[in-house]
A and B are shown apart, each in its own frame.
Chain A
């Protein structure tokens, strides 16, 4: 067995629930103590509003808040003005569809996406396609459910204007070959929007190297707070994007019949934001970078191989993504509906997700009612996997005999 990271102790939820086997990181990652402490620090020490007061405390809060923008820019290799604070990935992806897509897409244009998308990425563009009489096109998946460069290439036409695509599938765990896809898209002047919600916890994202035009993710999927997320956009595209919400803070000059919004990124940020969450997100970045993506991947892969080898041997289990790229395993107990199986896992204090995972298109593609999904992350260990396998064995046996 390869040696693993030893970080379980950093996560209070695990310390407070010693029996818990947490395999639902794809839904949300647990938060390390440093993130929780930083949330607390804001409320305890300088819990006032940002961008408003001229007094010292407000300046302190604003400085901390803006430091998150600087750190996020460094984290993604972007410029600060390209980093928009949002309520999360869903919010960000809707902002792009409504603020950019509704103006950019015209009748007869084609929007290319995939059946691997989370509802948050495909539904906003389904709406754009309907309203603008554009065509929504799906890249045909290969026999294992993957997006391939070849299939992508064939989906493109001279009418393709936008590609809306996930970086990592939240059901199958596959990494989309985005480098080549983006290169091909840009040869045809197609704008590429990337949903990185599931990717950001597992792999380094360099928006410059990737050359994507927009990219969105939530803080909570990478051990940061809930209710906060990031929208990255190339400056020229953010300039073209209209704000979806108008109000305080996002506006420069207000007259009786006209107003001038602030520049990018502030024109997208109205109302009092989730300040503590934004500030505490710094700690999630620091924590992740301290561990390092290389070590995260090594840890995930070691446990994934260990789990897959055992899972494969259990009779009455179907694995949908034997060759997943990240720590996500999509599977079912053949004789049990996912929700019936999930109850057995719950009895074993194993937290995993059962159902369609807000990605009904890939569930339909798999031709099942839903799946069980176990997601391995840095705070899991061999013991967790052993308990998980034991529960799968029990569930398979129970429903086989029942």
Chain B
């Protein structure tokens, strides 16, 4: 039983929970606020894009460990990627969450630690919330959105 839980709450996730990377918002960035009203996860994600490249990703918000750590992991994974690379990585992350094999595991970096989420289906939404915000920003959306 306990080992199952450790599959979900592993060391990398714990690191990002304790020491979130790129946390805190910066004025002037493209911003999207996304929340899951049924559970209260609430995330704001920002991206800064220069010449087709993501130069910065910021995030802030409140929620469970899975949601908050995933925002931090995402920011690290996406910084430095081109917009099209980032979009592919985000799609790959969704495949991982569904329990499918992503096209390119290496590019997922630390995000690979969410590989066991598919054994906890109710938590998939937590893991993907920040990624969905980033995905929407890359498509040009901004502002307030509610998770479907």
Contact = CB atoms under 8 A, between A and B. Distances in A.
Contact of B9 (A340, A354, A355): A340
B14 interface: yes
Given A339-B64, A394-B2, A402-B14, A369 B8 contact: no
B76 to A, nearest CB: 21
A398 B39 contact: no
Given A344-B5, A348-B1, A355-B39, A337 B63 contact: yes
Contacts of A336: 65
A354 B39 CA distance: 8
Given A337-B65, A340-B9, A355 B38 contact: yes
Contact of B65 (A340, A346, A348, A354): A340
Contacts of A87: none
A88 interface: no
A336 B65 CA distance: 8
Contacts of B64: 337-340
Contacts of B123: 339, 343
Interface in B38-68: 38-41, 62-66
A369 B40 contact: yes
Interface string A333-358: 00011111001101110000011100
A104 B62 CA distance: 41
Interface in A310-338: 336-338
- Give chain B's interface residue range (CB within 8 Å of chain A): 20 to 34
A348 B126 CA distance: 20
A355 B40 contact: yes
Nearest to A355: B39
Contacts of B120: 343, 346
A346 B122 CA distance: 10
Contacts of A354: 39
A354 B5 CA distance: 17
A224 interface: no
Interface in B107-146: 120, 122-123, 126
A370 interface: yes
Contacts of B66: 339-340
Contact of B2 (A338, A346, A398): A398
Contacts of B41: 339
Nearest to B66: A340
Contacts of A340: 9, 64-66
Most buried by B among A339, A369, A402: A339
A356 B9 CA distance: 23
Contacts of A346: 120, 122
Contacts of A394: 1-2
A356 B40 contact: yes
A394 B65 CA distance: 17
Interface in B75-115: none
Interface in A77-113: none
Contacts of A355: 38-40
A259 to B, nearest CB: 40
Contacts of B8: 343
23 contacts: A336-B65, A337-B63, A339-B39, A339-B40, A339-B63, A339-B126, A340-B9, A340-B66, A343-B5, A343-B8, A343-B122, A343-B123, A346-B120, A347-B5, A348-B1, A355-B38, A355-B40, A356-B40, A394-B1, A394-B2, A398-B2, A398-B9, A402-B9
Interface of B: 1-2, 4-5, 8-9, 14, 38-41, 62-66, 120, 122-123, 126
Nearest 8 pairs of A and B residues by beta carbon = A337-B64, A339-B64, A340-B64, A340-B65, A370-B40, A355-B39, A339-B39, A369-B40
